[in-house]
Amino acid sequence: MADEMNEQPLKGKKAVEPQVTLGVAELAAIIKEAVQAATSRSSDASTQVLQEFTQAMKDMRKPWVDPRSEENDRLMREQMRETTKRIAESIKYSQSTCPHFQGSNELSDFQGALSSIVKHVLDTGVVWGICTNCLREFWPEDQDYAKEMNRKSGNRPSQAGRRMFLDPRAAAAAGR
């Protein structure tokens, strides 16, 4: 009698959907058929599907990158390389034309008679210099080292600590 009530809609009330019930044996049979159908495919096809699934899972972890962003990054790197190249060329030119005197910077009003090279004594005993205008370094191997380092400087010399070496020449060579 309850089944008859569910099959006939009453006036003003919604019809009740019939409920489907499965027994354990029926559910086991459905699962068994699904497993057999899945495993009956060729092993190559299942391997292919498994590989595609694995790759899709790996790709899900990667953040999405906008192609416009990649192009913008590429252009920025290219511009940075060009800017770095121009700066290096400018520094080389500045160092090649610098007279290494105080006030010889293009922003200075007048040039002095004193050298702009700061002399520094390393703990190995090597004396090197750096121009405060163009930042060129002067090492004992340079051709113009003696000429530039013998000028009277307007800067105070600096010095590192003192250490003793068994072979001072090897330490000086390795210290640069």
pLDDT digits (tens, 9 = 90+) for 79-133: 999 999 999 999 999 999 999 999 887 788 888 899 999 999 998 889 999 999 9
pLDDT of 1 reads 46
Spatial neighbors of 129 by CB under 8 A, at least 6 apart, are: 117, 118, 119, 120, 137, 138, 148, 149
CB 112 within 8 A of CB 153: no
Calpha distance 153→130 (Å, rounded): 11
Spatial neighbors of 76 by CB under 8 A, at least 6 apart, are: none
Q: What are phi and psi of 129, to 5 degrees?
A: -135, 160
User: For residue 67, what are its two tokens?
Assistant: 């192609």
Query: Which residue in the block uniquely carries the two structure tokens 């700066």?
Result: 87
Q: What is the mean pLDDT of residues 1-27?
A: 64
Whether pTM exceeds 0.85:
no
CB 37 within 8 A of CB 27: no
Q: What is the mean pLDDT of residues 158-169?
A: 86
CB 128 within 8 A of CB 122: yes
Spatial neighbors of 100 by CB under 8 A, at least 6 apart, are: 115, 116, 117, 131, 133, 134, 136, 148, 151
Calpha distance 65→130 (Å, rounded): 46
pLDDT digits (tens, 9 = 90+) for 34-87: 777 766 655 667 778 788 888 887 777 788 888 899 999 999 999 999 999 999
Query: Which residue in the block uniquely carries the two structure tokens 């252009």?
Result: 75
Q: What is the mean pLDDT of residues 134-145?
A: 94
